[in-house]
Amino acid sequence: MQSCSDDIADEFDSLSLNSTTTTASTTVDIKHSSSSGSEVTWAPPSIATSSSKPHAPSGDPCWQAIRRAQASSDGGALALHELRFLRRLGSGDIGSVYLVELKCAGGCMFAAKVMDKKELVSRYKEGRARIEREILEMLDHPFLPTLYATLDSPRWSCLLTEFCPGGDLHVLRQRQPDKRFHEAAVRFYASEVIVALEYLHMMGIIYRDLKPENVLVRSDGHIMLTDFDLSLKNDNSTSRAQVVSGQNPACKNSSTYPSSDYPTEPPPFGESSCIIPNCIVPAVSCFHPIRRRRKKPRHRRALEIVAEPVDVRSMSFVGTHEYLAPEIVSGEGHGNAVDWWTLGIFIFEMLYGTTPFKGVDNELTLANIVARALEFPKEPWVPGAAKDLITQLLVKEPSRRMGATMGATAIKHHAFFNGVNWALLRCAAPPIVPRPCNDVVSPQGCTEISIEYY
């Protein structure tokens, strides 16, 4: 039996980006032309050397390893031959991902997404590769990837990001009893996905590819969204904060909530949302003080700040069939509401072990998404709050979908997330903590390999 080093060498010699993905889902990327909107176009990617963010935390051992490697390399830029490829982690539409470490600074594992530039150009995918790189360079969030370096050769382009030893939620779900997660685990993972999507929307990015395969589990059990080559990024999008009236705090803690009691989207204030009457003098007589009646306590509606863009639009047909939103299937054009649709599909699959509109083939699946009503299986039992959340997320009309106008703010207030401390998600105990990296990565049979970097 050949060692894994020989396998990796062979893969580099015959790397084809047309290879089948490691998951059962199929990703589509077809663009519709329309006079009402179009996909943002991009120039081909340029050659770049390794780089690190100026705000990189000094306590991160991986950043320290990168800096040591840069200091010892010629010109301070990393090259592909300075990476030790341990094994292949998976493949996607525009590249393959490998587990690597630095030869001169071992101990830290990285995930290296390697892309064949010739294949990217021949398949008109260079724009997607550039978008993913630009997005990764922007991100700075605990539930999103860290880009440690970009490495280039005349043929290969590589993105060096962090390695998540816990794998993805698709594989993790398959290992659970009945191939589904318990309610508490779904609440945990969905909460972290929501704040990651909220951050992306604030950055003017529509993710468009949420599915369990793209939600990785870090070594501490928290999640990381990955794979941004289908994302839509608009530098001209303006994220204007607005102050809106939140839901009644007294109602938020109720254990059950009829669907009709939910305001679909609390109405925002007008442009002049806050007026401070500091120039108004109370008309109260100094000689005849008025006895004021004690007012009955009433619940005040909390103020929320929403800063998610709603002006980014696209006509592209992209995503995974079972997760596509109706407006994408029908070609009407879409905005960031598609991410909240995919959140509903994501939660449904995590709870039930299947997606709600899956057909015998992709064509029937797309027809079900557009025309078939949402139905919940009789088994397993799922609490009413979870069903209500899914129902409001899987509204086929995007303007009426939960999150369409208030973004993550409306979703966070749903009764399904009662008890979630959104400000301290990183302190919450994960339902599953992966084994240490040394147990996941076995060095047996993996030796230094020789690869042609041309």
Residues designated as active site: 209
DSSP string, 97-124: EEEEEESSSTT-EEEEEEEEHHHHHHTT
The alpha-helical segments, DSSP class H, found in 357-404 are 362-371, 384-393
Question: In Å, how far from its chain's centre is CA 297?
Answer: 42
**68 φ, ψ to 5°?**
-65, -40
Helix (H) or strand (E) holding 198: helix 183-202
Contact 410, 265 (CB under 8 A): yes
Contact 201, 135 (CB under 8 A): no
Contact 348, 323 (CB under 8 A): no
CB-side neighbour CA atoms (13 Å) of 22: 16
Written as one letter, the residue type at 31 is: K
Cis bond upstream, residue 380 (ω within 30)? yes
